[in-house]
Amino acid sequence: MVKVTFTLDDETVERIRRLATRLGRPQSQVVRESVKEYEARSDKLTDEERQRLLAVVDRIMKAPPTRPQAEVNTELREIRAARRRWARPPR
C-alpha cells in the first residue's frame, strides 16, 4: 500500500470517522471502499454524455451512404467466409 496525504474539509473527515466507527473498520478502509464504490457508479454514462453520443449516431444514420449496398454486401460475405476458414473445427 502507498501512504498519501489529502486535504479534506471538516465535514468529510467527520463523515469518514462516523462511518469507520459505525462499521468497525479503519478510516483508510472506509476511504478505499468509498472510492471503489464511487468509481463503479461513475463508469455509467451521464445523461449529457448519452445525449451527445445519441446525437452523433443520429447524424451518422442521416448521412448518405458512402458506398453502394452491393459493395458492402460483397465485403461482408468475404469477411464471413474468412472467419469460417479460420474457425475451429467442431468437436
pTM for the whole thing?
Answer: 0.49
Of 7, 6, 15, 9, residue with least CA distance to 34: 15
- Residue in the block written with cell 464504490: 37
Model pLDDT for residues 38-49, shown as the tens digit of each residue: 888 877 888 899
Dihedral over Cα of 52, 35, 18, 21: its sign = positive
**How do residues 41-87 score in pLDDT, each as one tens digit?**
877 888 899 999 999 999 999 999 999 999 999 999 999 999 988 87
Q: How far is the C-alpha of 45 from the C-alpha of 38, rounded, in Å?
A: 13
Cβ contact 42:32 at 8 Å: no
Instruction: Sketch the domain layout of the chain as residue ranges.
Output: 10-86
* Contact of 76 with 70, CB cutoff 8 Å: no
- The CA distance from 40 to 53, in Å, is 21
